[in-house]
């Protein structure tokens, strides 16, 4: 092997702003560079590509994956995808006879195709996804074919840049997502008129709801309910520094997404920054890993309707000491379970174990 390093190619459908791409970037950066030579492939470039290259990670961009495999000769290919069958997408990997193929199964779907059988290890990003996969498909999610590996979060960075001692606006809370209707729930807005009435009746300081990822429907709701003085729509952010700056401007995070979360990167980052989180359960078999991250009454609240959301927000607004303790509980949980360096080390161990099992090492 080149200087005794294991060559790993991380593969993503894009280099955009999404959590999938951010996770791939974190793995590439945090894998031990003495042991692994990691590069990234995507059919098209994007804003995250520049960030990756700034961290001295090689990127391959283009439609011809087979030629890139022939050039880089990876020992491990690690694909990041939804989990369902994508006809033809794995064919170049089969032709190149990659020794080890790993999938981060972002949404916990099943690929029953012959190509899907090429995958040596399916990594689920939460216990919820692994359990649902097993239940729906009657397939035990056990090693060596399956395991759970939480998404990495740079908890060290957030601890340093979002310290306990920082000044916080006690009346300010926020929400962050992509400006995508699929990332929203009506609950993210319906609690506001209830909360406004509570605050005004108690003659409290007006609250500020800071939103990154606003959509036209949200702006329309705010206008129709005369909430312009209470809600601020902010531009998107990309880097952890920008995210930390936003999280430092609020005292807790409001998360509401009807699709649910297969992991919940925004929630985990808010926890790493020492903020309590308010979320809600998803219906039926939708993604529900947000309940795996947020412990009701310990690291935040789980609210089932607009009234409960308003009550949870009101409690955190009026009980800053309890809110701070919940936030620090969440920070400790995030550092224990999601720390990027620890997750990357576990991933490296998985690569090596599979290479040994395949007698490549």
Question: In whole angstroms, what is the distance from residue 252 CA to residue 281 CA?
Answer: 18
pLDDT of residue 1: 47
Residue 266 pLDDT > 90, yes or no?
yes
Residue-range domain boundaries for the chain = 2-152+340-357, 156-338
Considering the domain delimited by 156-338, tell me its CATH architecture.
3-Layer(aba) Sandwich (3.40)
Interval 32-56: pLDDT, tens = 999 999 999 999 999 999 999 999 9
pTM, rounded to two decimals:
0.95
Fold match, 2-152+340-357 / 156-338: yes
Interval 80-114: pLDDT, tens = 999 999 999 999 999 999 999 999 999 999 999 99
Interval 21-38: pLDDT, tens = 999 999 999 999 999 999
Question: In whole angstroms, what is the distance from residue 347 CA to residue 26 CA?
Answer: 12
Interval 228-258: pLDDT, tens = 999 999 999 989 999 999 999 999 999 999 9
Q: Please tell me the CATH code under which domain 2-152+340-357 is placed.
A: 3.40.50.11380
Interval 296-347: pLDDT, tens = 999 999 999 999 999 999 999 999 999 999 999 999 999 999 999 999 999 9
Tell me 6's DSSP state.
Answer: E
Place of tokens 């009454």: 297
Residue 70 pLDDT > 80, yes or no?
yes
Helices of type H across the chain: 19-30, 47-54, 65-72, 91-95, 127-137, 155-161, 187-201, 216-224, 240-248, 265-272, 290-293, 306-318, 320-338, 340-357
Smallest Cα–Cα separation from 130: which of 118, 117, 141? Answer: 141
């Amino acid at each position: 092997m080149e200087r005794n390093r294991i060559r790993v190619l991380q593969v993503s459908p894009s280099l955009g702003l999404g959590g999938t791409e951010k996770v791939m970037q974190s793995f590439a950066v945090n894998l031990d560079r003495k042991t692994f030579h990691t590069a990234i492939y995507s059919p098209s470039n994007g804003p995250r590509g520049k960030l990756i290259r700034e961290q001295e990670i090689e990127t391959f961009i283009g439609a011809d994956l087979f030629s890139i495999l022939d050039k880089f000769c990876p020992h491990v290919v690690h694909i990041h995808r939804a989990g369902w069958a994508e006809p033809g997408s794995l064919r170049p990997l089969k032709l190149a006879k990659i020794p080890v193929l790993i999938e981060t199964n972002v949404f916990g779907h099943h690929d029953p195709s012959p190509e899907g059988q090429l995958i040596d290890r399916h990594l689920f990003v939460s216990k919820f996804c692994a359990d649902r996969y097993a239940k729906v498909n009657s397939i035990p999610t056990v090693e060596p074919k399956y395991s759970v590996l939480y998404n990495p979060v740079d908890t060290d960075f957030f601890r340093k840049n979002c310290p306990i001692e920082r000044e916080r606006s006690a009346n300010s809370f926020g929400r962050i997502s992509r400006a995508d209707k699929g990332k929203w729930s009506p609950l993210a807005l319906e609690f506001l008129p209830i909360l406004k009435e509570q605050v005004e009746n108690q003659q409290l300081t007006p609250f500020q709801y800071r939103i990154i990822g606003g959509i036209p429907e949200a702006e329309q709701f705010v206008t129709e309910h005369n909430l312009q003085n209470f809600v601020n729509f902010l531009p998107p952010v990309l880097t952890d520094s920008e995210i930390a700056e936003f999280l430092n401007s609020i005292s807790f995070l409001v998360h509401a997404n009807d699709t649910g979360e297969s992991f919940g990167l925004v929630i985990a980052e808010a926890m790493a920054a020492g903020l309590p989180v308010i979320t809600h359960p998803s219906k039926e078999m939708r993604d529900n890993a947000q309940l795996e991250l947020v412990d009701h009454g310990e690291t935040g609240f789980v609210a089932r309707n607009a009234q409960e959301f308003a009550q949870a927000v009101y409690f955190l607004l009026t009980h800053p000491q309890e809110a701070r303790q919940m936030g620090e509980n969440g920070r400790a949980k995030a550092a224990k379970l999601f720390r990027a360096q620890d997750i990357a080390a576990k991933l490296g161990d998985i690569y090596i174990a599979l290479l040994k099992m395949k007698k490549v090492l």
